């Protein structure tokens, strides 16, 4: 099994995906252990002095003015975890929890937090044992870190609260730790605070969304090409020289992908036949511009994610010169903004895809296709309600595109008076990505049926590869009405697991 080695300089996006989704093992590098040890020595030296140091010998947040004596400091660290583990609502997905645990471990191993090596090793042991703390939907404002979610994870390290075992059964954390031979940790100065003061949950969800959107945007280029083909549109608008004079890289990539899919098509270029068109509708002609803008938004989000992966987010932080300084690096604004940007781009991509689907189903705009792609229109309703479903998904995505990061709500007796709401932005983006997958699947379902209904015209080889693969996957083609939900579910799975993209790329080679 793949092993991710956590050092002092962070981890990669692929490392996070490997641990979160593929169950990769985690190890601490010797460099990380040395950095942990050195930083801890600084914290221990400060803890022995009479001067108050935030997070080491004081209370937290609005209670930071109280100096805490040595006899109460272990209790202080234990109490911050217990009191901050105040989440409510449904359980958060296992992959999200594993991602945020690894990312917190990444910051701990930077040597800027003052956490002891044995605490970091316990974090790795919990991940390797497949133990997943129960984290709840609500509790993070995306500032001072994802406090409640990370606190529930820290609670598991202490052997308290509930966690999910590798078998998926939720049990008391103490039982799961004991079953895997893991000793609960007793937190010392600063350690409780360091375990819960990071933007790790929202960053983990950003990284997974970026991976999913990379596949989805390529898949959306494919379905846009299929719709153009089914509508007898022109591929001349995809010519590289047209996109070179508006040099957005995402736009050029989307146009190139569509052109590659349409290569060899016998359906394109018929826009001057029986029902002449000077131009195709915007939803067809402007597909690269819309998808391309989304691609460029993804590129910006990747830049932010890479910077965050190289960051040590904690407050206070231990500096190499021995200082322990307070800061505001836990504020989630950089991550929150791009999470919201991505939700906006996803909603617009879904919106233009739905418009193409509707055009395929409307006999007045489909250039010769039967109403709703029905077998016997009137007796059969065809894909009428499949488009309703797609429209409902798009409508929800528009609501989810309202930015969470534009909101803020004061907390901690006005000490924490401006927050990012980045966790909320991440949670709604996950739903948006899920919905976008379904929207793309419905367009694919309609476009493949429409292409098959163009009798006497030969589709592009890449289009035929998609039709063959999706039919082999059990998704039926044109014909009388049938129970449609299973077909749509199978189409969704076909897009979601990458089979749509794989089918195309057997002909085109890797898409951009």
CB distance 254 to 215 below 8 Å: no
> What are the angstrom distances between the C-alpha of 472 and each of 376, 481, 490, 500, 504?
25, 20, 11, 12, 14
To the nearest 10 degrees (0 to 180), the angle between helices 384-400 and 333-361 is 160
User: What token pair was written down for 136?
Assistant: 């709840």
C-alpha–C-alpha distance, residues 224 and 233, integer Å = 11
- Give the DSSP letter of residue 67: B
CA 118 to chain centre: 31
CB distance 463 to 226 below 8 Å: yes
CA 42 to chain centre: 37
> What are the angstrom distances between the C-alpha of 456 and each of 223, 312, 453?
21, 62, 9
- In whole angstroms, how large is the CA radius of gyration of the chain? 26
Strands 324-325 and 317-318: antiparallel
- Which residues is 171 bridged to in the sheet? 163
C-alpha–C-alpha distance, residues 229 and 234, integer Å = 8
> What are the angstrom distances between the C-alpha of 128 and each of 26, 29, 90, 149, 512?
6, 15, 24, 19, 35
Catalytic (active site) residue 54: yes
User: What token pair was written down for 296?
Assistant: 């460029």
What 3-state class would DSSP assign to 377? strand
CA 336 to chain centre: 12
> Which is catalytic among the residues 54, 217, 337, 388?
54
Show which residues are catalytic. Answer: 54
């Amino acid at each position: 099994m793949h092993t991710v080695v956590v050092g002092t300089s962070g981890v990669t996006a692929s490392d996070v995906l490997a641990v979160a989704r593929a169950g990769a093992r985690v190890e601490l590098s010797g460099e990380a252990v040395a950095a942990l040890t050195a930083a801890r020595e600084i914290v221990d030296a400060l803890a022995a002095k009479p001067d108050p140091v935030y997070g080491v010998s004081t209370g937290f947040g609005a209670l930071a003015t109280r100096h805490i004596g040595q006899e109460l400091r272990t209790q202080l660290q234990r109490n911050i975890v217990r009191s901050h583990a105040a989440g409510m609502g449904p359980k958060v997905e296992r992959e999200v929890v594993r991602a945020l645990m690894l990312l917190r471990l990444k910051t701990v191993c930077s040597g800027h937090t003052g956490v002891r090596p044995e605490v970091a090793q316990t974090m790795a042991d919990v991940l390797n044992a497949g133990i997943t703390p129960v984290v709840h939907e609500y509790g993070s404002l995306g500032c001072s870190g994802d406090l409640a979610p990370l606190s529930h994870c820290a609670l598991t390290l202490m052997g308290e609260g509930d966690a999910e075992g590798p078998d998926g059964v939720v049990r008391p954390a103490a039982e799961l730790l004991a079953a895997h031979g893991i000793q609960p940790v007793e937190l010392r100065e600063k350690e409780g605070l360091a375990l819960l003061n990071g933007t790790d949950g929202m960053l983990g969800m950003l990284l997974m969304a970026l991976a999913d959107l990379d596949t989805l945007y390529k898949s959306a280029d494919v379905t846009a090409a299929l719709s153009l083909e089914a509508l007898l549109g022109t591929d001349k608008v995809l010519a590289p020289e047209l996109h070179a004079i508006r040099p957005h890289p995402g736009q050029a990539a989307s146009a190139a992908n569509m052109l590659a899919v349409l290569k060899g098509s016998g359906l394109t270029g018929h826009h001057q036949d029986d029902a002449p068109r000077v131009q195709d509708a915007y939803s067809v002609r402007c597909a690269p511009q819309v998808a391309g803008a989304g691609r460029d938004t993804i590129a910006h989000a990747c830049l932010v994610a890479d910077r965050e992966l190289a960051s040590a987010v904690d407050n206070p932080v231990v500096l190499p010169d021995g200082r322990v300084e307070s800061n505001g690096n836990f504020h989630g604004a950089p991550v929150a903004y791009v999470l919201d940007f991505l939700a906006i781009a996803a909603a617009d991509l879904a919106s233009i895809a739905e418009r193409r689907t509707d055009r395929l189903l409307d006999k007045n705009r489909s250039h010769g296709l039967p109403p709703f792609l029905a077998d016997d229109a009137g007796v059969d309703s065809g894909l009428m309600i499949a488009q309703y479903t797609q429209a409902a998904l798009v409508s929800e995505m528009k609501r989810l595109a309202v930015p969470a990061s534009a909101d803020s709500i004061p907390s901690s007796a006005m000490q924490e008076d401006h927050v990012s709401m980045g966790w909320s932005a991440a949670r709604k983006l996950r739903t948006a990505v899920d919905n976008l997958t379904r929207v793309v699947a419905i367009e694919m379902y309609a476009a493949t049926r429409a292409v098959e209904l163009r009798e006497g015209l030969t589709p592009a080889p890449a289009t035929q590869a998609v039709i063959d693969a999706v039919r082999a996957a059990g998704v039926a083609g044109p014909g009388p009405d049938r129970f449609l939900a299973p077909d749509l579910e199978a189409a969704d799975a076909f897009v979601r697991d990458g089979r749509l993209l794989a089918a195309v790329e057997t002909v085109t080679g890797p898409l951009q």
